[in-house]
Structure 1
Amino acid sequence: MLEYKVSARRIDSHGSEAFAKDARIVLDTDMAGRPDAFNPAEMLLASLAACILKGAERVIPMLAFDLRGIEVKLHGLRQDSPPKMVRIAYEIVVDTAESDARLDLLHRNLQKYGTIYNTLADATELVGSIRRKG
């Protein structure tokens, strides 16, 4: 089993910060919001994006997949009562000359082996697609 450790603290009424290893992230915990930091819902979406991108780094060499670039676009839908994410949609855009079948293979691998992906898929509606850039 792998373990992860993160700590967080309130800076003031406008923000907080989280730490892991030697990294620090400013968090938007201001009730009015702030444009220079991720709020908790955005952090969740960013975590999914990071999971997909890290998964790509893992499976691309195993698949001998020709990749020039990859990006992930996400959209979360939150209900108010009780507050929770009810749907997350994503689009993976890949800059590649690989076939559609190989693009689908990459997508299946990203879905199957993603820790955050699988956690969220069990908790909310998670839908997404993969397409070639261009």
Structure 2
Amino acid sequence: MKIFKIKETLVEDGIALADARDLKVISDVRDDGTHPYGFSPAEIIGNALGSCLLINAQRIAKKMRMNFSDLSVDLQVYRQEDPPKVVKIEYTIHIKTDGSEEQLEKLFDYTSKYSTTYNTLKDSVEIVGKIQKIEIENIKERE
């Protein structure tokens, strides 16, 4: 089992500094509901899912020898107010590829199947995803 250690410290009103592996990230922890300094906690959840999906999509596409150029994920995170909770996340993976529809379906399925964040959230948050293929010709093979 892998263990991740993170320390989050309030450095001034509304701003926290997260430290993991000697890397630092500013977190917006304003208690008035505005977040001018950085991502809100709900956005951080969406960011974690998007990052995890991108990691897996790259890795799986390479294993499938699927040529691609651009890869992105658009997410919408739905947060209810009472009690405050993320209740739904919708996402679309966008990929420019000359891969087949069968490859695209496998890529989409495996991307969530092997996502740490997706698997962590799926039993408590409704997650709806899709993949959008952007057709291009003559993609250079990735080395």
Instruction: Report TM bin, short chain.
Output: over 0.9
- Give the Cα–Cα distance (whole angstroms) in 2 for the partners of residues 4 and 125 of structure 1: 26
Q: Tell me whether 1:69 sits opposite 2:70 in the alignment.
A: yes
Q: Match of 1:22, as an amino acid?
A: D
Aligned-residue offset at 1:40: 0.6
Alpha-carbon displacement from aligned partner over 1:65-111 (angstroms, at most 9, x marks no partner): 11112000000111111111111000100011111221111001101
- Give the Cα–Cα distance (whole angstroms) in 2 for the partners of residues 128 and 36 of structure 1: 29
- Give the Cα–Cα distance (whole angstroms) in 2 for the partners of residues 36 and 107 of structure 1: 33
| Local SS of the residue matching 2:66 | coil
Alignment-derived partner of residue 124 in structure 2: 123
Q: Tell me whether 1:40 sits opposite 2:28 in the alignment.
A: no
Alignment-derived partner of residue 25 in structure 1: 25
Alignment-derived partner of residue 99 in structure 1: 100
Compare the two structures and name the one with the higher helix fraction: 1
Larger-Rg structure = 2
| Local SS of the residue matching 1:123 | coil
TM value normalised by structure 1: 0.93
- Give the Cα–Cα distance (whole angstroms) in 2 for the partners of residues 35 and 49 of structure 1: 21
Cα distance change on mapping 1:34 and 1:81 into 2, 3 Å: closer
Conserved? CA contact 2:69–2:96, under 8 Å: yes
Q: Tell me whether 1:82 sits opposite 2:83 in the alignment.
A: yes
Aligned-residue offset at 1:58: 2.1
- Give the Cα–Cα distance (whole angstroms) in 1 for the partners of residues 97 and 37 of structure 2: 33
In the TM superposition, structure 1's runs of 4+ consecutive aligned residues that sit over 4 Å from their partners are none
Q: Match of 1:64, as an amino acid?
A: R
Alignment-derived partner of residue 50 in structure 1: 51
Alignment-derived partner of residue 140 in structure 2: none
TM value normalised by structure 2: 0.88
Alignment-derived partner of residue 16 in structure 1: 16
Paired residue total: 134
Gaps of at least 5 residues in structure 1 are none
Q: CA RMSD in A?
A: 1.3
- Give the Cα–Cα distance (whole angstroms) in 2 for the partners of residues 11 and 81 of structure 1: 29
Alpha-carbon displacement from aligned partner over 1:30-51 (angstroms, at most 9, x marks no partner): 1342334111111110000110
- Give the Cα–Cα distance (whole angstroms) in 1 for the partners of residues 126 and 80 of structure 2: 13
